[in-house]
Amino acid sequence: MLQISPSILSADFSRLEREVADVEAGGAHMLHIDVMDGHFVPNISFGACVVSSLRPKTQLFFDVHLMISDPLAYAPSFAKAGADMITFHYESDADARKTIDVIRGLGLKVGMAVKPGTDVSVLEPFLPQLDLALVMTVEPGFGGQKFMPQMMPKVEYLRRWAQKTHDSLWIQVDGGIDAVTAGTAAAAGADVLVAGSAVFGAADRQDAIEAILRSASSVGRTV
Ligand code: DX5
Ligand code: ZN
């Protein structure tokens, strides 16, 4: 089943509790939480204290996307703060195998991400140990950028791999997803769609989520 993970990066941080309640009521399946350190990407967002403040306010699954250089060092504090899944970047400085083991040892689901310039095949040795593989469809760092359709072969590659080997692997796309590009990503085989500005930038978040789901179902995906 296709899932929508609205990114709070595009929410109004002065009223975060209500913003999260709004997408929860509007049909979001999880909440995408973008953590940036100003080093791995040229932007700073927020840290674990924001995650722990939100944790008691919602039932949503916390999909934490670490765009930081040292995910191994910070994974325990995000686990403690209430993350359900931690996704880290292949391009980070951390040893990937060790980072997967630490996140798993904390009792969480584990994801690995690749930036647009990174070949998706670098993930292959890790895929059997992952719950999710994330294909970035913009350069990480900012919301509101244009979707890169040329990333779809990466999604197709992961979908083929999952069909052959590990059917429960979630394939996530992140960046520029809206009611048009969601169809492109879903047709390529993505099953977790992150959407920041398309959801939080809309006056009616439920309408925005439903439009994204309709776009995915129009290409034959179950939503
Ligand atoms: C980008 C972040 C994304 C971002 C998506 O670095 O990882 O999750 O919030 O925002 P939109 O959907 O606006 O491209
Ligand atoms: Zn993200």
- From the CA of 134, how far away is ligand 1's center (Å)? 12
Quick: pLDDT tens for 133-172. Answer: 999 999 999 999 999 999 999 999 999 999 999 889 999 9
Please provide the DSSP assignment of 67-123 as one string.
ESS-HHHHHHHHHHHT-SEEEEETTSSS-HHHHHHHHHHTT-EEEEEE-TTS-GGGG
The number of the ligand 1 atom at minimal distance from the alpha carbon of 65 is 7
Residue 223 reports pLDDT greater than 90: no
196 lines ligand 1 (CB under 6 A): yes
CA-nearest residue, atom 10 of ligand 1: 143
pLDDT of residue 27: 98
- pTM more than 0.95: yes
* Average pLDDT of the chain to the nearest whole number: 97
Residue with tokens 């399946």: 29
Asked if 155 and 189 touch (Cβ cutoff 8 Å), the reply is yes
**pLDDT average, residue stretch 183-207:** 98
Catalytic residue (one of 37, 63, 174, 191): 174
pLDDT band at 67 (very low <50, low <70, confident <90, very high): very high
pLDDT of residue 221: 87
The number of the ligand 1 atom at minimal distance from the alpha carbon of 43 is 6
pLDDT of residue 146: 98
